[in-house]
Structure 1
Amino acid sequence: MLYRFKSKASGDVVMLEPTGRRVLEILGKDPAAPGIILPEQMPAAIEALRAAVAAEEAEAERQRQEAQARGEEPPVPPEERVPLRTRVAPFIEMLQHCQREQCEVVWGV
């Protein structure tokens, strides 16, 4: 399944189901239903995504340090995973652009 985020102010952003579901959960939206993010909701949405990115990076660093202290390799080598930061960057850009243009973002419609 794909999530396609659409707006009149920008091109579509398409995410595979696991990432799209995670993004919507971060935003407090129901992943199973069509939805909308209004321009006035976008600053909070952007901040929530950035906070999730920071939390993921902090957890990855904590795991790396713990593994290093035990003399082991990290659970998932950094070069083998795509971080949330990379996955949500186009969506954050979309939200920023749509906020400037005062245009909503929709999905599932």
Structure 2
Amino acid sequence: MLITFKSKAAADVVMYESHAKPILDLLHKDPARGVITAAEAGDAVALLEQQINASKAHEAAEALARDVNAHHNADTDDHNHEKIEAVSFSARAYPLLDMLREAKKGGYDILWGV
């Protein structure tokens, strides 16, 4: 299922619900329908930036674990496979973070599920 975030501050941001849910959980918002008011935008930006910074600290360790897993599979040790390129939390969160920043500047709300 898709979630479309709408605001007068920026173009719509569309995300899969499974990708938006961790962000909305962090902000204590319901994925089905909700609003981040202009007054809440500053706190939302700070929380999201803090989570992005925390997730970046773990990206290197996770990438190493994926690489070791791929290269040392017990049944098929294939060294010619394509590298798994996971999309990071920060990359997924950035469009909404950008919208939040613009909403804060312009004093606009962000809505979804309406």
Task: Select which of 94, 99, 103 maps to 2:104.
Answer: 99
Structure 2 unaligned residues grouped into runs of 5+:
71-82
Cα gap change, 1:74/1:18 in structure 2, threshold over 3 Å: closer, same or farther? Answer: farther
C-alpha distance after superposition, 1:60-97 (max 9, x if no partner): 334457x5xxxx93558x86101111111111111111
* C-alpha contact 1:63 1:74 (8 A) present in aligned 2: no
Q: Distance in 2 between matches of 1:75 and 1:17?
A: 28
* Identity score, percent: 33
Structure with bigger gyration radius: 2
Structure 1 unaligned residues grouped into runs of 5+:
none
Instruction: Name the SS of the counterpart of 2:67 in structure 1.
Output: coil
Q: TM-score, normalised by structure 2?
A: 0.77
In the TM superposition, residue 51 of structure 1 has moved relative to its aligned partner by 1.6
Instruction: Name the SS of the counterpart of 1:61 in structure 2.
Output: helix
* C-alpha contact 2:17 2:31 (8 A) present in aligned 1: no
Q: TM-score, normalised by structure 1?
A: 0.80
Question: How many aligned residue pairs are there?
Answer: 103
- Match of 2:10? 10
Q: Output the aligned Cα RMSD.
A: 2.4
